[in-house]
């Protein structure tokens, strides 16, 4: 059973930074594709960053240039560094693992950007 646990969310002022973490259980992490999604109130869930097992990354235009996704396979953890945060970045951020055609989700962590 794969479990994903996000952490690192919180409240930050506009222009600030946060680093989100998603820790995964299990031994298949290193070959999994890991995604970060976010969902703001009243909006559709949005895929914002992806990192494959070989380290290739992709970003949504909404976060490109301000965010960096990375992974530590030794720690079974994926990170999302977010800089220059804006109020419109306020959302619940969730990670997803995709491996062997199966998807696993974390419970999410709230990020609030407000002055």
Q: How far is CA 57 from the centre of its chain?
A: 12
Binning pLDDT at 50, 70 and 90, where does residue 27 land?
confident
Q: Quick: pLDDT tens for 50-80.
A: 999 999 999 999 999 999 999 999 999 999 9
Give dist(CA 42, CA 82) in Å, integer.
Answer: 22
Distance CA 20, CA 115 (A): 20
Per-residue pLDDT tens digits for 37-56: 999 999 999 999 999 999 99
Which residue's structure tokens are 């990170």? 79
Question: C-alpha dihedral over 70, 37, 61, 88, to 10 degrees?
Answer: -120
């Amino acid at each position: 059973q794969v479990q994903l646990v996000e952490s690192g969310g919180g409240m930050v002022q506009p222009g600030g930074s946060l680093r989100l973490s998603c820790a995964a259980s299990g031994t298949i992490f290193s070959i999994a594709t890991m995604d970060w999604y976010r969902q703001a109130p009243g909006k559709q869930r949005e895929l914002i960053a992806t990192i494959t097992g070989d380290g290739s990354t992709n970003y949504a235009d909404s976060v490109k240039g301000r965010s960096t996704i990375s992974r530590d396979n030794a720690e079974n953890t994926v990170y999302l560094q977010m800089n220059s945060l804006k109020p419109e970045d306020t959302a619940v951020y969730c990670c997803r693992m995709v491996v062997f055609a199966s998807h696993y989700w974390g419970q999410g962590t709230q990020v609030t950007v407000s002055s």
